[in-house]
Amino acid sequence: MNSNKTIVKPNTKLPIKVSTKNLDLQFAVRAFLKQIGEDPNRDGIKDTPKRFEEAIKCLLSGYDRSFEKENRLFENISNYQDIITLKNIDFFSMCEHHLLPFFGYAHIGYIPGEKVLGISKLARAVDIYARRLQDQETLGFQIAETLMNYGKAKGVAILIEARHFCNIARGTEKKTSIMSTCAYYGTFKGNSQLQQSFIELIKHREKI
């Protein structure tokens, strides 16, 4: 377990320490294959437990990363005080309710304080939190919380549009359904003019 990784979810505030470094899933996957009547030793699937474990480690690699450790801030030398946006940030995540993928685009706007974040930092913030067990609302919250607390942003706006496998391949099986979450923090909160500016800036965006 990595003691440095904590997740604070909205409303709960209970830290959960998680790491995938010592993941041992191969026995469980072999047992699963047996349960559905497969022969885990047949050629096509004999290495599947190992491949699955590696895939899960990649999909959940965000647990072992830290935005604070990976990203340095820069002084806001020009005293820029308007919205900086980065749109079309593609991401892959895993729904914590069904352990199935959801994927899409995040579009972020922020107003810097005394520090500015480089473009790559915004994309990294999305990756670090997307590569964990998630729900879409919490993903947006965690990205925004990091930009507000560590990035010292005055305000953050974030729109996430995603397709969820648990909705398109099972359940209601709505193959073209897209889930959108849009949340505002800091100076964006309750400021309809700023919110409209953000929506205008990301009007021409990639569609999932």
Give the C-alpha separation, 200 to 22, whole Å. Answer: 45
CA distances, 180 to each of 27, 45, 69, 105, 122 (Å): 37, 37, 30, 10, 19
Give the residue with the Cβ less far from Zn ion, 65 or 98.
98
Considering only residues 156 through 185, tell me which ones interact with Zn ion, judged by CB under 5 A: 166
The 9-48 contact track toward Zn ion, x by CB under 5 A, reads: ----------------------------------------
The structure tokens listed for 106 are 């995040």
**Which lies closer to Zn ion via its Cβ, residue 121 or residue 132?**
132
Residues 86, 122: Cα–Cα separation, whole Å: 7
Phi, psi of 116 (to 5 degrees): -125, 150
Number of residues lying near Zn ion (CB under 5 A): 4
95 binds Zn ion (CB under 5 A): yes
DSSP helix/strand/coil, 160: strand
Minimal CB distance residue for Zn ion: 166
Q: Which is nearer to Zn ion, 90 or 135 (CB)?
A: 135
Binding site for Zn ion (CB under 5 A): 95, 97-98, 166
